[in-house]
Amino acid sequence: MSEEKKIPPEEIPQKQQAETTISSAEPITKVEQSEIPPSSGTEQQQTTNLASEASAKEGNQQQTEDMEVHHHTHPAHGKKNWKAYFWEFLMLFLAVFCGFLAEYQLEHKIEKERAKKYMYDMVENLKYDTIRYNRNLINNEAIGKQLDSFRAEISQGVKGMIDGNRLYDLWWKCKNFNSVVFNRTAITQLKNSGNFRLITNNVLSSSISDYYERKIAACEQAEETLGRSNERLKISSTRFFYYEPFDHLLSTETTFNEPIPDSIIARNKKRLSDNPPLTLLNTNPSDLKLLYNDIGMKEEAMKVYNAFLRWARATAIALMQEIDNEYHFKK
pLDDT in tens, the chain (331 residues): 444 444 444 444 444 444 444 444 444 444 444 444 444 455 555 555 555 665 655 655 555 555 544 444 455 555 778 888 788 888 888 888 787 777 766 666 767 788 889 999 999 999 999 999 999 999 999 999 999 999 999 999 999 999 999 999 999 999 999 999 999 999 999 999 888 888 889 999 999 999 999 999 999 999 999 999 999 999 999 999 998 888 877 777 667 666 666 667 777 777 788 788 899 999 999 999 999 999 999 999 999 999 999 999 999 999 999 999 999 887 6
Give the number of C-alpha atoms closer than 13 A to the C-alpha of residue 177, restricted to the C-beta side.
32
Quick check: is 80 in a domain?
no
Quick check: is 179 in a domain?
yes
8-state DSSP, 198 = G
| Region at 155 (left for phi over 0; alpha for psi -120 to 50; beta for the rest) | alpha
Q: How many domains does the chain have?
A: 1
Quick check: is 192 in a domain?
yes
Quick check: is 177 in a domain?
yes
* 302, 177 Cβ separation under 8 angstroms: yes
Residue 172 contacts by C-beta under 8 Å, 6 or more apart in sequence?
246, 268, 272
Q: Whole-structure pTM over 0.95, yes or no?
A: no
Bond before 276 cis per omega within 30 degrees: yes
Q: Using alpha carbons only, how large is the chain's radius of gyration in Å? A: 59
Quick check: is 5 in a domain?
no
Q: In which domain, by residue range, is 137 found? A: 106-238+283-327
Quick check: is 211 in a domain?
yes
8-state DSSP, 211 = I
**Run of H or E including 237:** helix 216-237
